[in-house]
Every structure is written in C-alpha cells, then in structure tokens.
Amino acid sequence: MLLDTPSLYFRAFYGIPESMTAPDGMPVNAVRGLIDMIATLVRSHSPSELVACMDADWRPAFRVAALPSYKAHRVAEGDQEQIPDTLAPQVPVIEEVLDALGVARIGVAGYEADDVIGTLAIRQQGAVEIVTGDRDLFQLVDDAKPCRVLYTVRGIRNLQTVDEAFVTAKYGIPGRAYADFATLRGDPSDGLPGVPGIGEKTAAALITRFGSLAALLAATGEDGFPAGARNKLNAAGEYLAVAPAVVKVAHDVPIPEVDIALPRKPRDPERLVELADRYGLDGPLNRLLAVLAKQ
C-alpha cells in the first residue's frame, strides 16, 4: 500500500476542525486525521507493506524547466508552496510520528510523492494499492499487475476503487491511457494548459481512436485525420513536445533501501510516548497501535 501522504494530510486538515489542538494550543487536526486514516486503511485492507510517500520537492525543476506554468499559481514566496499557516507546523510532526511508529517514509530530493509512488508501483512484485485524492495517479492502474488506486474523493471510509474498467467507464478511454488523455485535456489545478480547443470529450475520442498520444501525433499528417483537430494539435506543438514529461510520473526515482514491512509495534516507543504527550495524540495513536498489533 502506497500512501500519497500530502494528499491525505491536506484532506485531514480541511476535514477536521482546527479546534482539535495539542495541550499548548497548536492545531493537530492534520496529524490526528492522518493517523486515523492509516488505522482505517490497515484495518480494511491489511497490507503486508506500507509506504508513506512524501514530497521532497513539490515543484520539481525538471517539470518547471519543461513547462514553467507547472503549479506556478500555487507558489508563495520564492519557490515555496502555499500552505495554510496552521498546517505547515504539523508536517514535521507527521514525519516524526511516522518514524517513531516505524512506518516507512520515503521522499527523494528533486521528486514529488507521485514519482516515488510511480517508481515503487512499477518495481514492486505483486498487487499494489495507491491511496490518493489525485487523479494524476490514475495513470498507474494496471489490471495485469494488479495495481489499483483507492480514491479518496468520497472519504477514507468510502473509497472508490479505480481500475482499468473504472477509467474506461469514467473517461471513455483505454484503461491505461489516462496520462495521454490528461496531457491533451490539461489540468488547471496543476497549471497544465492542455491543447486549446480540445476538451475532455474530444481528447477521449482522439485517444480512443488512436490508442496513445504518440500514435495520435504520428497520424496527424495522414489522409482522413480530422482537420479541426489537426490544426489544434499542430498549433500546440511546443506544448505537446514537453507536456508528456510533466504529466507522466517518474518510474526511475533513486529509492533508498528502506524496510517497508508493516510494523506490528513501534520502532521507537519512548519517542512515540513523548510525541503523544506533547501533541495530545493518545487517542488516534492507541487506535492505530491496536490495529497494527492485530495484523
């Protein structure tokens, strides 16, 4: 099980009131929410291995170099991401709690959590489940492996299971063609403009007809290719030359050697007690530890 940890703690932050605080008054809603999410996921899915994938770089240089608009609207000062003031201090606490529990936490310099997830999903033998609220990771679904996404759009207790059939039913495209479809359609939330004039329906029709973005672009000069679409694709040639490298998650991240087995007991019990006392985490940590002990 691969956790898109930033996606989950953002969801927890916005889903749980900030009145949930530590003894010193610091909001810990994201921390508590993430711990309870992990407990729910382990109880429901019993993974043998678990990785909390992190953003070591939320806006990697290789993506910005290819497409400067990538996430540009979410930049605060310098190249820092806009994060609510009451969430930012909770992220180091989340990291400390995961480390004390013994939950594998992997972030790699120069890459997003998505890239860590993509690399691990490809490398791991056997079934993989990816927990995220980010549709970009739909590109990793693979019924043959199998690799599926547990999509949090309706909540952690009501996950949508995304496989190739889901992608086909939802978007009208081949089940493993989401990245090519998203490249054409664009995604304003990530600063991806897409091809002007080609919306979701047209993008789906083109990808379905030609099978892939590469095959689609190779066919633009052929007789019978839709003239309107050809003109739009040709006009967006510069974007289409770089966008696939931005949209597709990396599969070659240098992942460090880490024990990813699901912990049955805390790696550092004394530190975990200190964190529980300091931040008022007894309830969620006890719930998670009880679940882990039963696995």
Nearest to 2 by CA among 149, 101, 108: 149
Cβ atoms within 10 A of the Cβ of 274, count?
A: 13
Joined tokens for residue 56 = 């070591």
Q: pTM of the prediction?
A: 0.95
Alpha helices in 46-177 (DSSP H): 61-66, 90-101, 113-123, 164-171
Dihedral over Cα of 245, 248, 252, 253: its sign: positive
The CATH architecture assigned to 2-169+250-286 reads: 3-Layer(aba) Sandwich (3.40)
Query: Is 80 exceeded by the pLDDT of residue 150?
Result: yes
pLDDT at 207: 96
Q: What is the pLDDT of residues 105-127, one digit of tens each?
A: 999 999 999 999 999 999 998 99
Q: What pLDDT does 149 receive?
A: 98
> What average pLDDT does the segment 38-48 reach?
97
pLDDT digits (tens, 9 = 90+) for 13-38: 999 999 999 999 999 999 999 999 99
Q: Where in the chain is the domain with CATH 3.40.50.1010?
A: 2-169+250-286
Peptide bond into 146 cis (omega under 30): yes
What residues does 192 pair with on adjacent strands? 187
Can you list the positions of beta strands (E) in 69-178?
104-106, 128-132, 147-151, 160-162
- Find the helix or strand (DSSP H, E) in which 84 lies: none
Strand partners, 162: 149
10 Å CB burial of residue 170 (0-12, 13-18, 19+) is middle
CATH class of domain segment(s) 178-247: mainly alpha
Are 195 and 236 spatial neighbours (Cβ–Cβ below 8 Å)?
yes
- pLDDT of the residue at 94: 98
| For residue 282, pLDDT beyond 90 | yes
Residue 239, phi then psi, degrees to nearest 5: -65, -45
Res. 189: pLDDT tops 90? no
Neighbours of 186 (CB within 10 A): 22
Left if phi > 0, otherwise alpha if psi is -120 to 50, otherwise beta: which for 160?
beta
CB atoms within 10 A of CB 201: 11
Q: What's the count of helices (H) and strands (E) in the chain, helices before strands?
A: 13, 6
> Which pLDDT tens digit goes with each residue over 52-84?
999 999 999 999 999 999 999 888 876 778 899
* Average of per-residue pLDDT across 183-211: 94
Residue whose pair of structure tokens reads 């080609």 in the numeric block = 198
* Backbone angles phi and psi of 106, in degrees to 5: -125, 120
What is the pLDDT of the chain when averaged over all its residues? 95
Instruction: Outline which parts of the chain fall under CATH 1.10.150.20.
Output: 178-247
DSSP for 38-52, please give it. Answer: HHHHHHHH--SB-EE
Q: Which two tokens stand for residue 252?
A: 């070659």
pLDDT digits (tens, 9 = 90+) for 225-280: 989 999 999 999 999 999 999 999 999 999 999 999 999 999 999 999 999 999 99
For the chain, give the percent of residues with pLDDT over 90: 94
**CA-CA-CA-CA torsion for 173, 177, 178, 180, nearest 10 degrees?**
-110
**Other CB atoms within 10 A of residue 34 CB:** 28
Q: What is the largest CA-CA distance in the chain?
A: 71
Q: How far is 173 from 216, CA to CA, in rounded Å?
A: 13
